[in-house]
Chain A
């Protein structure tokens, strides 16, 4: 063993340390003592401002405005208590509360202590004037999130809040710290890394009275980057007005690129409530059983109802189970597996176009049974169901598409013919998000491409949409698509079509209604379609939670398209 060498080694490292200390304390001691004695180093943090969020035309949806914090320095001259009692008068509170706030926030003698946050400019000026006698009040201006349109597009934007532990553990490697204000939900969360400002500050030497001697170092704060969205504020406003008073969501999308032009969800919330938390509504949003913080357009999952018949029609046409000559008789109901399955009306003889126009259940029960559950499942997946669409917003749901195989694997249960019938009219276990429905409609509007919806167009002026534009060619014959499109058009133009009231619009609309039965409460209402019919520029999906029927959704759709036309947002030449 070589333990003989350990002693000299230890002696050497201790000598090294002693020399190091000798160097700092004796040789350079005078210099360091001067630095520590006469001069102190202070850090003055400076905040940059968070990036703004703009709409597709550069209109500001979210920006920042100056706000003021009042701070008291216990290091400067003047008694803290005296200052606090004078400040209490200006801030409309009492001395005791301010003293408590001071105690709570106090960190170190040389660091100013915040006694009031986000105060009005008028009060800030009054406090600043106190300094003529007391000179230990510091007013710190800093940029605060400002929402000029209040609740507009709140689900797309998200809100800001103090970082929580869950996020901190995931983001700590990216430079996030406790007490950081970060985005929650929406673009604020998804693009937080770009939007967030970088803290900077001055490192200064001050003398024993706190006067500046020299600046030792400066790191400029960096502002966050602006993000431009694909949202059109005018359309967004129209959709939110049309949705007012109802629970649900509306999506307008460009069917070719996947750009989201408007995304509304109701009930909504006020992002500003999270900035100034004295606002009682902040708690309301968190505790409300209606869950206003949830973006129903992407995070809500619902039965699809009859809008799903589009998928069934596609699968049947592609499999050759039905064609333009096929027709079934609808007596108002039919028996499947010994059970009676009802239609919502008596339609008599129906071909596919008519069945889509009238949303005839009997036709689709029979068609669905011909195709089989697995066949429908395959096409549901092709049309983008059961997976998130990949939109650049957090918390997107994937929905659920049932199949005999999944049921066997997951629950060891058998699949019955009745399940296929239910599946064929979009009922049963099928769950979809409104955005998935809009995307399915886009496949028909753009003749066969499954687009990836996106909402952020550029960051800091640099176009990022290129990386998001991912389209998958859906393997469907052109004949199938144009045949279904014909059906969707007759939903509007046929006098008996379920969305016939849309025929009075100045633009040609095609689409499909849906009434999804739910076990409790009124049925959900759907309308998903596109316009102008020949050369579609818009896909629309209106979803009303417990809206009663598809008709209610058609009424909302009508109002939206009417207002868009009035505002000149639709080029009616199509």
Chain B
């Protein structure tokens, strides 16, 4: 048991170190104190992340159960605060500026939603044993949790942060599935969403439409939205098997690749370390997520079980969407690569999630 925890910590640290090196590499040619400072800040975030990790791993996760409503309210409050005080960055209002750094409430919301749904579905299954989990009525199984989730989704879309909103939606669907809600409900719901897509399309902002169209064909706008995807593919593709070596990637070094330290950090890494490096990195992520799944399997407590599998799934899907977006296989939506992308909110929330996983693993023995 102890060694699973240690294993998670070591792998997470390893990935975070790779992230710091990649951020250093993607910013070291850029002049100006701001850029030189970024990797140092990232080191600070990782250290703070470790502190949060150790706190979370010693904090009985069952107490999250009692705090769920408070956490949910706090997340909504932070999202609301973004509208009131939020500062404008990259054309979207996603950050809350604190004294000397900013946080991104949508990152925190993802984790809160996992906790909320884990509690919701585990309560139902414990209390209504006679009903059986998969016989939850449509109202309780579906509409009520959907109402909880749709509020933060709406607020995040309004920021606008399509990526995080989609993430929460995917988390929702997955949690429904994991909790054992009737497949029929999930499929009907997905079908409804697909049917509504043409209507939702009209609510998207022009640049969001651009991004989705560019995903279908990057060459329609080589100077605008398609530019990043083309450059990202060139960066990754030019890595070859062994890569170009650290600090030697021309695409990211010469700044053809925008956002090479945040959403496109994977392309920077892939250019320098090649197929070999990428395979190792993805293997590390796989190992990390696998530990989460193992913990979920071993846990007897329904809440812990749903929480552990929800967190593992959240990590997996973030890795997947971010890499796929770098590879040009998914539309460019702002989803960070956990533990690698520059940014405090993502690092801290990821370490917090891992800390919760470790605690579930420890506390399991009590039940």
- Closest partner residue, chain B, to A20 (CB atom): B327
- Closest partner residue, chain A, to B91 (CB atom): A172
Which one of B178, B231, B289, B316 lies within 8 Å of A41 (CB-CB)? B231
Residues of B within 8 A of A108 (CB): 30, 254-255
CA distance A390 to B240 in the complex (A): 63
CA distance A31 to B240 in the complex (A): 10
A: interface residue count bin: 35 or more
B293 and A7 within 8 A (CB):
yes
B296 to chain A, nearest CB (A): 5
B28 in the interface (beta carbon within 8 A): no
A472 in the interface (beta carbon within 8 A): no
In the complex with contacts A173-B205, A219-B223, A35-B320 CB distance below 8 A: no
B204 to chain A, nearest CB (A): 11
A110 in the interface (beta carbon within 8 A): yes
A216 in the interface (beta carbon within 8 A): yes
A3 and B296 within 8 A (CB):
yes
A6 in the interface (beta carbon within 8 A): yes
CA distance A526 to B217 in the complex (A): 64
B240 and A1 within 8 A (CB):
no
A110 and B255 within 8 A (CB):
yes
A203 and B178 within 8 A (CB):
no
Residues of B within 8 A of A165 (CB): 88
In chain B, positions 186-238 with a C-beta closer than 8 Å to chain A are 205-207, 219, 222-223, 227, 230-231, 233-238
In the complex with contacts A13-B320, A36-B234, A109-B29, A175-B206 CB distance below 8 A: yes
A25 in the interface (beta carbon within 8 A): yes
CA distance A26 to B241 in the complex (A): 6
B314 to chain A, nearest CB (A): 11
B: interface residue count bin: 35 or more
A169 in the interface (beta carbon within 8 A): yes
Map CB proximity to B onto A6-36 as digits: 1 under 8 Å, 0 otherwise. Answer: 1101110110111011101110110111011
Residues of A within 8 A of B324 (CB): 16-17, 20
B316 and A10 within 8 A (CB):
yes
Residues of A within 8 A of B206 (CB): 173, 175
Interface centre among B133, B223, B320 (most CB of A within 10 A): B223
A433 to chain B, nearest CB (A): 34
B327 and A36 within 8 A (CB):
no
In chain A, positions 151-174 with a C-beta closer than 8 Å to chain B are 165, 168-169, 172-173
Map CB proximity to B onto A353-390 as digits: 1 under 8 Å, 0 otherwise. Answer: 00000000000000000000000000000000000000
30 A-B pairs with C-beta separation under 8 A:
A1-B180, A1-B306, A3-B293, A13-B316, A13-B320, A14-B286, A18-B282, A20-B323, A21-B282, A25-B237, A25-B240, A26-B275, A32-B237, A35-B238, A40-B254, A40-B256, A41-B231, A107-B255, A108-B255, A110-B255, A110-B256, A111-B255, A165-B88, A169-B88, A173-B205, A173-B206, A200-B223, A203-B223, A216-B222, A217-B219
Q: B residues engaging A (CB < 8 A)?
A: 29-32, 88, 91, 93, 133, 177-180, 205-207, 219, 222-223, 227, 230-231, 233-241, 250-251, 254-256, 270, 274-275, 278-279, 282, 285-286, 289-290, 293, 296-297, 302, 305-306, 309, 312-313, 316-317, 319-320, 323-324, 327, 329
